[in-house]
Structure 1
Amino acid sequence: MSRHSQEYSNNVPAGNLLLCAGIWSSGISYVKTLRMLKLMNVVAINQTTFLKHSKYYVQPIIYNMWQSEQHDVLKNLRQSEEGAILSGDGRCDSPGHSAKYGTYVFLDMSNNKIADIQLVQSNEVGGSYHLEKEGFQRAIHFLKNFGIAIKQVVTDRHPQIAKYIRLNMPETQHRFDAWHIAKSKLLCIIVILFLSNIIMFKSMGDFTKCEHEDIPPEVQKRKKWITVSDPFVLANFEKIICDKRFVKDVQKVSTLHQTSSLEAFNSLILQFAPKQRAFHFLGMLTR
């Protein structure tokens, strides 16, 4: 008669499977988890067993669940008479131009659910610069092959994606996220206002005044502030506001749908796939 410290499921210790599933579901590092258990003198599985259980049990279950959930979302989109309204955004697995993976995500704006996720490896497209466009194209082809009519797409100001939609999707309205339009010029305007000693704190949340001490009047008189009527101020404001690309893009700003929910989703993904760690393809996709 043998005695086991835990129940078995198909000759696999159930506790080991639950430990692997818990690590994947919480987004914590296996190495840190093992170190913590070791400090507590708790016997745990080694890394080989963890990777084996992840490959044959945890990852397939996660992927199958995602496909089932995605199918329900796409089925509802296909039945929509007005057409799908999607917001799209891409992210890379590391900062700079050395990314190995690029992920492009489409969010269904009608129910705030993820419609599709495309993971692209940089060696497939000849470099990390092309990851976002390739992910966008694959997601569009996948959705169209499923029979979904795309009415509107809201994205950032990525020039390659804008050109692709203009040339290949004439029936689809392309709109830009308002924040991506604003932030491209906001910093320049703030710098000019600082140089002009004109700072407004309306709608800035917790920021109601400058962090520095008040400047005495006699010091302010000695400082050579740029005046509002200064040609430098006027010329730079005109250059910022009348920029051809900016004027053109403002006309395509989305007045209703934005990518803020998608940005929040990408921030959440960082908990499960931080940019400081490397993963293999399936590991990255399931995370």
Structure 2
Amino acid sequence: MAENNLLISASILFTGASHTTLLDWANLLHTPIPKNTQFYKMQEVYIIPTVQQAYRDQHEEIIKRLLEHCASGHTIDLSGDARCDSPSFSSKYCTYSFLDDATKEIVHFELVQVTEASSSVAMELTGFQRGLDYLLERGLKVGVVTTDRSPSVRKFMRENYSSIQHEFDIWHVAKGVKKKLMAISSKKDTKPLEEWIKSITNHLYYSCGSSKGDKEVCVGRWTSLLNHISGIHRWEDGDSEYTCQHPPLTEDQQRRKKWLDKNSPAFLGLQSVVMDKNLQRDLNQMALCKLTGSLEVYHSSMLKYAQKRVHYGYDGMRARTQLAILDHNANVERPQATTKKGELRHRFVYPKQSDHWVAKPIYRKTQQAFRDDLMQRVLDRRHNRHILRTSSSSTASEVAPQHRPSAKT
């Protein structure tokens, strides 16, 4: 085998590219590169097993560090989220990932195929259950698990792991609240509510972030919004007296603010959202102010290796997910980029939802040194005479536990 053929094939997968696209590019330039049969054979025997071994090595290091943390009497906080391989409801794969809230590293993932669950929607619960069971079986002491408001995951946690605190991601809840308020304010008589929407969603974050785990305080501060928005900043509830946490308003500020009348349609529409029983019940699982934004960032970078509109085989999908994890874990907590003068760099964006310009930080470029290690591992595997070069099935059982579908699938 020509060494260049092996390295070209490895670089295609390690960069998240597609062999079909690269082959078209090479044919246009009349440049020979490995054809389909040769590429997929090298991927099966050398490239995918290399990725699996590199992922396993990193995974075991993370588990070892977490076990040492738990041995000192501490617990770990995890965030979990699912990512399907299709933007529609006909997904074939669902990848459920668990992230350590302290280090922002991906601790574990589960790849579920649709034939392993009753439907595409049920794949999320299957991945969550497998992943959490695996981490607990490894000996990790999990204190908090943060997910979105999936009814199936909520029920599973309530019935099987009541000792683990289950929190909801605030961003998903705030997004739903904002959507309801925008629908209410779209009418003519409820239009005054529109300019309060951003402040209301900010108050939801404040209510969760300032409660410090106290569920009653979280719900109380959220419902106090109804008093503030109607111009009442000091009120009584039973034998207790409460005040707004903001500084006292001047007479001019009080006069200029467009408060909502308690009998107006806008206020009544807001009241129906704030006092919603389901929302207040969910606030009990949001008092720790947990977010899964780091998982959303990881899922965005995962598109580089596994596009949603491209179909991959099971082994290929698993290997590309492992590459995305290696890339993510190698670049967590990147510092913000600076100018030559040492000033922090920002970029200005105009999100349609916020309807105003926002300054966002620019981070330093990602480091891709892990790819060099993978390329060297591929060469070492080729030079290893003990490697079975006819099939990679012998290496499938060597990677971190993954529940591969049966042969009939």
Residue 11 (structure 2) aligns with? 22
Q: Distance in 2 between matches of 1:257 and 1:84?
A: 13
Residue 264 (structure 1) aligns with? 297
Establish whether residue 46 from structure 1 lines up as the match of residue 35 from structure 2: yes
- How far off is 1:137 after superposition? 0.4
Letter in 1 for 2:9: C
- How far off is 1:228 after superposition? 5.0
Encode CA deviations 1:110-150: one digit per residue, 9 max, x unaligned. Answer: 21111101001111112111100000000011111111111
- How far off is 1:16 after superposition? 1.2
Equivalent of 1:188, from 173, 180, 197?
180
Equivalent of 1:111, from 89, 103, 113?
103
Equivalent of 1:101, from 75, 93, 103?
93
Residue 137 (structure 1) aligns with? 129
**Does the 8 A contact of 2:170 with 2:290 survive in 1?**
no
Encode CA deviations 1:80-104: one digit per residue, 9 max, x unaligned. Answer: 2211110100011112221111110
- How far off is 1:232 after superposition? 3.7
- How far off is 1:285 after superposition? 0.7
Q: Distance in 2 between matches of 1:251 and 1:13?
A: 62
Equivalent of 1:199, from 189, 195, 200?
195
Residue 310 (structure 2) aligns with? 277
Residue 330 (structure 2) aligns with? none
Equivalent of 1:243, from 263, 276, 285?
276
Alignment partner of 1:43: what SS?
A: coil
Cα distance change on mapping 1:202 and 1:145 into 2, 3 Å: closer
Q: Distance in 2 between matches of 1:137 and 1:109?
A: 19
Cα distance change on mapping 1:254 and 1:42 into 2, 3 Å: farther
Cα distance change on mapping 1:232 and 1:76 into 2, 3 Å: same
**Does the 8 A contact of 2:182 with 2:197 survive in 1?**
no
Residue 236 (structure 2) aligns with? none
Could you state the TM-score of these two structures normalised by the residue count of structure 1?
0.83
Q: Distance in 2 between matches of 1:271 and 1:236?
A: 43
Residue 85 (structure 1) aligns with? 77
Q: Distance in 1 between matches of 2:6 and 2:101?
A: 36
- Structure number with greater CO (CA < 8 Å, separation at least 6) is 2
Unpaired segments ≥5 residues, structure 1: 1-11, 205-226
Q: Distance in 2 between matches of 1:244 and 1:283?
A: 45
Q: Distance in 2 between matches of 1:246 and 1:69?
A: 40
Letter in 2 for 1:71: E
Letter in 1 for 2:27: K
Alignment partner of 1:273: what SS?
A: coil
Residue 67 (structure 1) aligns with? 56
Equivalent of 2:158, from 152, 166, 169?
166
Equivalent of 2:139, from 130, 147, 163?
147
Q: Distance in 1 between matches of 2:290 and 2:277?
A: 24
Letter in 2 for 1:280: G
Residue 128 (structure 1) aligns with? 120
Q: Distance in 1 between matches of 2:287 and 2:87?
A: 28
Q: Distance in 2 between matches of 1:127 and 1:201?
A: 36
Q: Distance in 2 between matches of 1:173 and 1:82?
A: 15
Cα distance change on mapping 1:104 and 1:112 into 2, 3 Å: same
Q: Distance in 2 between matches of 1:13 and 1:232?
A: 75
Encode CA deviations 1:33-82: one digit per residue, 9 max, x unaligned. Answer: 11111111111111111111111111010011111101111111112221
| Aligned-pair Cα RMSD in Å | 2.0
Alignment partner of 1:129: what SS?
A: coil
Q: Paired residues, what number?
A: 254
Encode CA deviations 1:192-214: one digit per residue, 9 max, x unaligned. Answer: 3454054369799xxxxxxxxxx
Q: Distance in 2 between matches of 1:66 and 1:110?
A: 20
Letter in 2 for 1:260: G
Letter in 2 for 1:24: L
Q: Distance in 2 between matches of 1:235 and 1:256?
A: 27
Q: Distance in 2 between matches of 1:163 and 1:261?
A: 25
Establish whether residue 35 from structure 1 lines up as the match of residue 24 from structure 2: yes
How much identity, in percent, do the aligned residues show? 31
Q: Distance in 1 between matches of 2:197 and 2:160?
A: 44
